[in-house]
Structure 1
Amino acid sequence: MKNTSIGLALTAAMTAMILSACGPKTEAPRSDAPAGPAVGVIALQARRVPLTSELPGRVVASEEAEVRPQVGGIIQRRLFVEGGEVKAGQPLYQLDPAPYRATYDSALAALQKARAAVPGARATAVRDRDLVKLNAISKQDYESAIDTLAQAQASVAAAQAALETARINLDYTTIRAPISGRIDKSALTPGALVTAGQSTALTTIHQIDPVNIDVTQSSASLLNLRAAIASGRIHAAGDHIPVRVRLENGALYPLAGELAFAESSVSTTTGTYTMRAMLRNPSRLLLPGMYVRAIVEEGSVPRGFLIPQRAISRNARGEPTALFVVDRRVVERTFANTRDVGNDLLVSGGVRDGDLLVVEGSQQVRVGDAVSAVQVALNPATGEVAPRMDADAADNAKASASVEAQHGG
């Protein structure tokens, strides 16, 4: 009986071993398996970041002149093409010159008459000078001869001035362009009567190559910029500050300009001050009064980190925050002294080179969660994550390419 019990026990043990060997095998978990859900990350690197401000502005002609008559008269002809280009000194209008030519001729005759009286007066004065030495005439007669000569010479000078005035007025009957530029339409037509210094301008000339851009900036922005430069966080752009212009349709003007000056006072009503940039405008694309956006380079940050806006959140105090992966776990960092730069947020502290920033999958994780970091790429123009291809899709793409190559061969 005892031997029978031992045999049954051995049989049961062997059966259990056989069944265990035939059953499914279970592998122990690997230590290098992903610690949690996958999140897309990018590695941050410090770089020199140029700082620009995009400010509203208006196009202003570099020179502008309203054309008005300097003498009165009837307009005989218009000598320019409306909307065209004119040069300084070019004739624009012709007034009736007849009355001014008559005045000029009269002044010329008066000058000739005055000059004719001088030789006789001079001869009398010379003769009386010799006679007074011989006591042949009185000193009073000699002094009268000297006065007569002086009056004749003064009459010549007055006649010369009157002739010059008549010549100037005659020349003013041809109204000329005071500056070069593009001319507007004419306010009056031939046959109209104009007067000297009238309030209505005949036309206006704008010089639009080069052209000025007047932009406004708040005084608070100026104070913040100067404080950042003083602290060393920003390096100033220098004396020659480049300016780019964005047009109303969003296109970037192809030529860059330069900041010319900034006003030394702040408006008491708006709290802003005006800066003026100068740009070349050979194609006449920029016209006075046009609204533009001026991109002014203020300086640069020597070592800054650009964090995509898609990775930025705000805490209860409104401070910008972002998630990072440190030792396979999610941590949150808060930033101060930030600035928007395109699709990114510029930070100068709180991060280091190589830190892994979470840019995809942040909604599925919380601070402290274990995650698996996957490197992704961002489109610099849009800030969006570039599409990734998983392993199966990659194998299918390779297989499709191989089949196409075989059929093509």
Structure 2
Amino acid sequence: MKTVEIVILTPRQIQAFTNWQITWFTIEQIQSLTKLQIQSLTKLQIESFTTLQITWFTKKQISWFTNLQITLLRKKQIAALTNEQIPHFTKIQIPSFTTKQIKSFTWKQPFTAEQIPHFTTEQIAAIPSIQISSFHDDQIQALTTEQIPALTEKQIQALTENQMKTLTLNQIKWFDYKQIQVLTEKQISTFTPIQIQMFITEQIQALTENQIVWFKTSQTIILTSRQIQAFTTKQIQWFTNSQIYYLKISQVQALTTKQISSLNYNKVKMFTSQWTKKFKVSQIQALTPQQIKWIDYEQIPDFTKEQIQIFTIEQIQALTIEQITTLTPQQIPLLTAEQIEALTKEQIPALSPRKMEALSPEKRKILKLLINKYQNQEQKSKSKEAF
């Protein structure tokens, strides 16, 4: 049949063609089909088109397929669709593809950025990982906030370093707990500073031990105060010594009392003089007696008047001999009467005569009474031993 004869066929006549006859249609005959004729094609006729015939449909004809007809396309027919045809599926047609059909598309058949937002969440989850990794920047950025949480763990891990950098700030916020936890070392290290600052509390708390270690110091130093406070006490323990050391003062001051008291020996040893001077009163009070012992004795002179005076009895008694020795003549007079009374008999000898003289007469009197008390206790102890 000539094309002029094809175009005048009614829908009923089109439907009269057998499956075998459909396979004999030439490129000219297929491309002469009208919108009404294409939409009248039956299920068996649609399924009968060869893969070569599928490639003959024009861009305009592709957009004429009904949603039902789209669902009828076989796996091989889907794979036969050309790069010129795919962009012409409309936003109404896109949601009609079944998940099985979506899986049949190859990485060489990219959907456009205009088509991506019209995929359902089920379709998004069905896209092969290799196809996800082939998405261009505009396709990645076309993913909606409803589609982002639909990405599977394998799809997330398939995202390339460049694609990770392409993610918009709004998209970053929609990664869920499980998606965050499957991010690889390369993906973590490629987050830009502004992307990291978009992490919400739930995302911060989703980070695993390995992921926290993977953060570069250049990334940890841009964490906001809100994000610092979002880390659990367990996560704080996972910070590397280097990450702790390079925290900015504003970040240090953002640490909660629970975070402070959870710091282990290695973390406390990373305290700098700048940290010591800027600790808030509540943070000083949160330090455990054991942590007080771990503070480098060379940092003791950096404690301010306000900090010295809020040391608890337990913290004062935890100070080592070396730490007591490094208290300056300017710091000694700042000790309260209660703090002086708390000094142990091992600590008192570490106070030089010059430092004792720096105390007010009233405090010197308290110290002298304390010394006498310890001496009396020692004499009584010796007397008991003599008997």
Q: TM-score, normalised by structure 2?
A: 0.21
Structure with more of its chain in strand, by fraction: 1
Q: TM-score, normalised by structure 1?
A: 0.20
Structure with more of its chain in helix, by fraction: 2
Query: Rg: which structure is higher?
Result: 1
